[in-house]
Structure 1
Amino acid sequence: MQDFFYVCPIHLKDRGFCSPIIDEAEVAEMKRKEEMEREIEKVKKEYEEKMKRKKQKKKDNDKSEDKDKKSDSAGDSNDKKDEKEKDEKIKSIQAGETTPKTDDEPRIFALHKHFYQMRIDRIRNMEMAKRNRERLNNPSYFPSTPKSDV
C-alpha cells in the first residue's frame, strides 16, 4: 500500500522517523550540474582576470601619450573578442543544462516500520468504526422480536 502525507523538514531530518530513498540517476545529475557550475565560475574568474590585466595595461599605455590612440582602438577590439569568447564558453557549457535547478535534498522518503504500522492501524480502525456506525444505523442489523408464542 502506497501512502503519502505532508511532513515538516525537521521530521525529515530525524533518523528515527524516516529514511530518504535515493535515486542514483538523480545523484549523478546533481554532480554533473555542480561540475558545470564550477566550470562557469572558473570561466567568469578567468574573464575578470583578463579584464583587470587589460585595464592595467591600458593605464600603463595612457601614461605615454603617443601610444594612447593606438591602445584605445586595439583595446576596444580585444575587449569585444574577450567578451565573445566568454559568452561562447558559457553557452557551450550551458548547452547540456536544460532542466531547472532542483533541491539537493531527496524528495521521497520511506517511513520506518513502526510509524508505518501505526498509520495502517489507524486507517483500519477508522474503517472498522465507519462499518460499525453503518450497522448501528441500519434497523435490520438488530434481531426482531418473536411474532409467535412458541
Structure 2
Amino acid sequence: MSIPNVWHHRKVADAAAKACDICYRPSTSVLVTPEKQDFFYICPVHLKDTKFATPIIDHEAIAAKKKKEMDEELERVKKEYEEKQRKKKEKANADDKSKSEDKDKDAKDQEKKDGSKSKDEASPVILPPVLAGRTDFIQQARPDPATPQEEEPRVFALQKSFHQQRINKKQQAELAKRNRERLANPNLFPSVPKGVPGPQG
C-alpha cells in the first residue's frame, strides 16, 4: 500500500482532541492525506521541526495572494487620493465663499457708516478656512492597519522515516483487520466430526 507523502494540516474542535502521535499530549491538530487514506493527530510544535516534516510551499498561491493584496492596497490609496482631491476642492470653494462673504461684510459696514441701515443682521457662523471640510488630520492620527502575520504552512511532507512508519502502521492495521475477519468466519476451522468413529485397523 502506498500513501502519498502530502499531508494537509487541519484543526478539530477542542472536544475532539486526541493524543499526539509523537508526545501523546492532547492535540486538536490533525495531518491528513488528500484522499483521506490516513490521518494522525500531531502537536503544532512538531510541525515546526524540520526533522519531522517540511512545509510544501505553493509559490503560485502565494504570488496570487500577494497580487490580490497589492490590488487592494492600490484601490485603497486611489480612494484616499480622490477623497483628498475632493476635500481640496471643497476647501478652495470655502475660501472663495469666505472671500465673497468678507466683501459682503465690507459693503454692509460701509452702509452702516453711511447710516442707511442700522439693523443688526445675523450672519451665519463660518469655520475658518483652515478647518473647513478637513478630516485628514483624523486620518493621519489613525494608525495604519497592522500587517497581517505570515500564515502558517498548511501542507507538509513527512521525513522519510516518519512516512515509512505511517505506511507500516497502516499495513499492520489492515493485516489485523483481515485476521479478525478471518477468525470471525466459521469456515476457517475444521468442523467437528459428526459420525461415530470406526475401529482403527
Q: TM-score, normalised by structure 1?
A: 0.55
Q: 1:35 Cα deviation (Å)?
A: 2.1
Question: Alignment length, in residue pairs?
Answer: 115
1:32 aligned to 2:32? no
**Distance across 1 between alignment mates of 2:76 and 2:160:** 45
Task: From the two aligned structures, give the one with the greater helix fraction.
Answer: 1
Structure 2: which amino acid aligns with 1:109? Answer: F
Aligned-residue CA RMSD (Å): 3.6
Cα 1:14–1:138 change in 2 (3 A) is closer
What corresponds to 1:131 in structure 2?
178
Matched residue type, 1:120: I
Give the whole-Å Cα distance in 2 for the aligned partners of 1:58 and 1:27.
47
Residue 133 to residue 125, structure 1, CA distance change in 2 (3 Å)? same
Distance in structure 1 (CA, Å) of the matches to 2:166 and 2:87? 63
Number of the residue aligned with 2:166: 119
Flag the 1:57–1:12 CA change in 2: closer, same or farther, 3 A.
Answer: farther
Query: Which secondary structure state, in structure 1, belongs to the residue aligned with residue 157 of structure 2?
Result: strand
Match of 1:23 among 50, 58, 63: 58
Report how far residue 127 of structure 1 moved.
Answer: 0.8
Instruction: Specify whether residues 41 and 12 from structure 1 end up closer, same or farther in structure 2 by C-alpha distance, changes over 3 A only.
Output: farther
Which structure features the higher share of strand residues? 2
140-149 or 114-123: which moved more?
140-149
TM-score by length of 2: 0.44
C-alpha displacement of 1:144? 6.0
Q: Which has the higher contact order (CA 8 A, sep 6+)?
A: 1
Match of 2:91 among 38, 56, 59: 56
Give the % identical residues: 36
